[in-house]
Amino acid sequence: MYRVNLTESYFPAQTDDVILETTVGGVLRAQAAKTPEQVALLEADIAGALGRSWTYSALLAESERLARALLSRYRPGERICVWAPNAPEWVLLEFAAALAGLTLVTANPAYRPRELKYVLDQSRAVGLFIVKEHRGNPMAEIAAEVARATPALREVVDMEDAVAFFAGAREAIALPEVKPRDPVQVQYTSGTTGFPKGAVLHHLGLTNNSRHGLARLQARAGETLLNPMPMFHTAGCSILTLGAVQHGCRMILARFFNPGPMLDIIEAERVDFLLGVPTMLVGLLEAQAAKPRDVSSIRIACSGGSMVPPELVRRVKATFGCDFETVYGQTETSPLLTQSQVDDSFDDLCNTVGQPMPQTEISIRDPATNQIVPVGVVGEICARAYSLMLEYNDNPEATAATIDKEGWLHTGDLGTMDSRGYVRVTGRVKEMIIRGGENLFPAEIENVLLEHPDVLEAAVVGAPDEKWGEIVVCFLRLRPGAILDRQALIAHCRERISPQKTPAHWIEVQEWPLTGSGKIQKFVLRERFEKGEYQSA
């Protein structure tokens, strides 16, 4: 824990860990030289069956071979898009593109034709790497359809066809010099508030941020981590993949998150730590309750990506008997901004997202004046660090609206900072509910609801109202067998929060509209409610 005593909500950059001049390909080379025979990557299919594996030396050799194949077809600086689930070929392509000086554009394998074409066009990708099919999505057919309408796209490659994947590889092709601040990926933001923008990320940001993140998790060489996070997101391809490489860990790459098979892997492979968004952890808890496994190997669990409710922290620690850490960040910041630590108090684990990462400035600012607010006062969370994106791709207006002239990135998240520098996230600037002139924060209401024994998950949004301006609407997913009891839920809220924060509408849902990285799309819930698509209890 950093020892500070703040009076205003500004946390200066801490220099306890250095920023290294590293690249994505360089960190793999360094680890392969250090532990060549250590297993680096192990494949797990949708059913959880284990398949191929790579040592660090083998992973580097295949990545360099693929890099030479890419350079026979592309020029350094060009963009290629990967549209695939968590396959080992995704990892190979990540390292190979970086070694070849290409920029990798990441796309959600659930995309439909319109979404895929948008990403290809907006990113200016000239190559598309796919698998034939994923969970009923006919990706090869969609890719062929989109390619016909995308003249800039030179080829579509089946990543699981080794001949096509490695076509053109020759030892004589020299790999270029790649610099730490060169662009390495374009990742499209999750879209919790609308259509995504392409964040252009650099080698330095991704490599150092992932190394810092796993260092705070106290990762040790030879440990096993399970990666069920989508590789098209920074959590999967950066925090876990690049973090594992830099700490010499063995990563089991799950093709798709499936709670039962994930627990089987944890038991059989003695997994040491795992990271998942809250919806994933809820799924693991439900599957473990239905069929208990030996999960005693888990040393630490970590979650982020959306609010991590206190009750979820309690359940994970109790069920898995492990330590817990919470992370907070954004795609635009490579992604980690804050992270808790294993020796944090239970209250801090449950109610904060920890202190800032090394070499990272965090401030809380008044959204109206941009002034730093006193400690404990709600404002917009802002960050200034080495890990900030280069820009939004071909979108200078959005870049300027997000990163101000002093280099502060405005996250759009509301939060507070205490005198110790611990940050609490209270919601989104656009999600803040203004009822009768009073600011209400969905996270506070959601945390209260998750303390009710019948409530499994909750999402609170504001809806227009003629009298109050906005009213509180709560969407709930209940535990199996539970029935939505409106009066009981109201009574539960009235005991714990003031009356104006109690939801006016209660809606039970069986599943959520989710982003590709597992975040609840609250704007979709709000739009559907306003269209009358939900029946309030």
Q: Pick the closest to residue 17 from 320, 339, 412 (CA basis).
A: 339
Neighbours of 527 (CB within 10 A): 13
Whether 40 shows a pLDDT value over 50: the answer reads yes
Q: In Å, how far from its chain's centre is CA 368? A: 28
Per-residue confidence at 189, pLDDT binned at 50, 70, 90?
A: confident
- Tell whether 359 is covered by a domain: no
- Tell whether 387 is covered by a domain: no
Residues in the chain: 537
- Tell whether 113 is covered by a domain: yes
Q: What is the largest CA-CA distance in the chain?
A: 74
Assess contact for 242 and 269: CB atoms under 8 A: no
Q: List pLDDT tens digits, range 451-481.
A: 999 999 999 999 887 777 789 999 999 999 9
- Tell whether 97 is covered by a domain: yes
Domain-ending residue, one of 190, 205, 220:
205
Whether 307 shows a pLDDT value over 90: the answer reads no
Least-confidence region, from 29-38, 76-85, 93-102, 188-197? 188-197
User: Looking at 292-378, which runs of residues are DSSP E strands?
Assistant: 300-303, 323-329, 336-339, 355-356, 360-365
Assess contact for 430 and 193: CB atoms under 8 A: yes
Mean pLDDT in residue range 42-64: 97
- Tell whether 165 is covered by a domain: yes
Alpha helices (runs of H) in 217-299, residue ranges in sequence order: 234, 241-247, 259-269, 278-290
> In whole angstroms, what is the distance from residue 44 CA to residue 226 CA?
10
- Tell whether 99 is covered by a domain: yes
Whether 87 shows a pLDDT value over 70: the answer reads yes
> In whole angstroms, what is the distance from residue 106 CA to residue 324 CA?
29
pTM: 0.84
What letter represents residue 336's amino acid? Answer: L
Structural domain count of the chain: 2
**HSE-up of 8 (CA within 13 Å, CB side)?**
8
CATH number of the domain where residue 140 is located: 3.40.50.12780
Look up residue 109 and give its DSSP letter.
T
- What's the domain range around 158? 17-205
Domain-ending residue, one of 143, 171, 205:
205
CATH number of the domain where residue 435 is located: 3.30.300.30
- Tell whether 232 is covered by a domain: no
Q: Pick the closest to residue 385 from 13, 5, 67, 106 (CA basis).
A: 13
Domain-ending residue, one of 205, 220, 244:
205
Q: Pick the closest to residue 266 from 292, 239, 240 (CA basis).
A: 292
